[in-house]
Amino acid sequence: GEAYGDSVPLLNIMAEDMSAYLYQDRAIVHESKDQFGIFARLSQWSRQALSPGEIPPAIHEALRRMQVNRPRPTTVEIPVDVFRAEGEVTTLAAETHKRPRGDPHDLERAAALLARAERPLLWAGGGVIAAGAWQELRALAEALDIPVLLTASGRGAMSDDHPLVIGNHATQGPVKRLLERADLMLAVGATFGYLPTARWTLPIPKRLIHIDLDPAQPGKNYPVEIGIHADAKHALRALLSALGGAPSSNHDAWVDDARAARQAVEMDLAQRAPLEWGLLQTLRRALPREAVITADPHLLGYWARSHLPIYEPRTWLHDLAFGTLGYAYPVALGAKLGAPDLPVVALSGDGGFLFTGQELATAVKYGLRVPVVIFNDSAYGAIKEDFLRDYGRAYEVDLVNPDFVAYAESFGAKGFRATPETLGATLEQALRADGPSVIDVRVTLRRPLAVA
């Protein structure tokens, strides 16, 4: 479900009981009522392979779908007796599949609108990251001098310290007022979902150009003037080509207004939530620009979605669709295996870490130098805050935690205790450690007023 909602191209090959006993409810070990049906509803495409010859074409099609369509999971179910069986199979050669490039006429129209706009905005989502289109995004923004909003999944598509980047602040007052004044928006690889639009109340400009690999997205949540079914990289390149050297409107005053809006948001946060703001700045100073950061949906993680500076693409990994507790640590280990030369750190709450903390065994086994920072309030803090706000009391949200330092050491990892004041130095020490580590930070945090 998380992979489906977050557009992750995950190939799920799953075993099933012997094919002769499928759907019979005869108390077979590991039998479920309809395993295939459950996973089919969480996949963009699914297939059962009931003979050896059906396996290669099923895998081939599963991979093709993830390359051509919106990158979402595919499922191939294979009963255990089919895994063991022998038979004639035809292997299929790997193919390079073409993604849609967009209607040339629509792209020309879009370029003309962009060139004439006086107060345009760019809205970049996770589709820019998935398409590897961050260089094209930056080139277009700089060519037209357009301020850039980034969704939570689009963070890193342009660096947070780029002068045109507003960041993931669309739901904040100063940026909402900027949206009200905009005369055009180009949205690329974004869904305009529930959280980024404050339940679809954001004043998205009526003159909206929406580019997406999923043809169902343009016009789904906000009406569009031009909807373009295209891969983000292809479409952005086409827009750059269509614009050529044509001069655009002078946007200097508009860009200044966008910078002022972002600065107002950041100044307000620093004054209103100095503890949370200070922790985010401490983390960022301790981490190299290229560090990969993963985060659970914990209290500081909610702040980090918008306010932790991200500088490089594919260095911010956060579960957005389901908000799955326990996400940060195993994903950090996977990131380290995939990019062993990059620093990787996981940010987690204490409740979330208890879901998957046993993966310390994996980290120690493979010598993965990945610190996990646990922001420990001995509770499911976000849920507790919701209960107290909505009902005046909290129920079954306080936790009896282990000693996380001793827990780490029992696996053979390093354990550290830190305070908000010592966190930066402790994290730097953990990044130098020879192997995995756990940093236990005892702190009580608040939830942000708006999560985007």
Q: Where in the chain is the domain with CATH 3.40.50.970?
A: 2-84, 273-442
Mean pLDDT of 14-40: 86
pLDDT given at position 83: 92
**CA distances to 6, 117, 294 from 189, in Å:** 12, 21, 21
> What angle separates helix 104-116 from helix 232-243, to the nearest 10 degrees?
60
Superfamily designation of domain 273-442: Thiamin diphosphate (ThDP)-binding fold, Pyr/PP domains (3.40.50.970)
Mean pLDDT of 133-151: 97
pLDDT given at position 127: 96
pLDDT given at position 28: 81
CA 133 from chain centre, in angstroms, equals 16
Mean pLDDT of 325-344: 97
User: What's the pTM?
Assistant: 0.92
Domain 104-263 matching CATH 3.40.50.1220: the answer reads yes
**CA distances to 96, 282, 310, 410, 442 from 420, in Å:** 49, 8, 21, 25, 8
pLDDT band at 69 (very low <50, low <70, confident <90, very high): confident
pLDDT given at position 68: 86
Q: What ranges make up the beta strands (E) of 249-312?
A: 292-295
Mean pLDDT of 3-30: 87
pLDDT band at 322 (very low <50, low <70, confident <90, very high): confident
pLDDT band at 325 (very low <50, low <70, confident <90, very high): very high
pLDDT at 447 over 90: no
Tokens 């094209």, residue located: 136
134 and 126 Cβ atoms separated by less than 8 Å: no
pLDDT at 282 over 80: yes
The pairing of beta strand 165-167 with beta strand 148-150: parallel
Mean pLDDT of 119-130: 97
**CA distances to 13, 208, 236, 420 from 228, in Å:** 33, 11, 11, 47
Encode pLDDT of 224-251 as tens digits: 999 999 999 999 999 999 998 665 668 9
pLDDT at 415 over 70: yes
Contacts of 236 (CB under 8 A, 6+ apart): 133, 136, 137, 139, 140, 188, 211
CATH of 2-84, one of 3.40.50.970, 3.30.1330.10, 3.40.30.10, 3.20.20.70: 3.40.50.970
pLDDT given at position 248: 62
pLDDT band at 31 (very low <50, low <70, confident <90, very high): confident
Q: Where in the chain is the domain with CATH 3.40.50.1220?
A: 104-263
110 and 241 Cβ atoms separated by less than 8 Å: no
pLDDT band at 193 (very low <50, low <70, confident <90, very high): very high
**CA distances to 27, 35, 45, 56 from 22, in Å:** 11, 10, 20, 22
Encode pLDDT of 346-356 as tens digits: 999 999 999 99
179 and 115 Cβ atoms separated by less than 8 Å: no
Mean pLDDT of the chain: 94
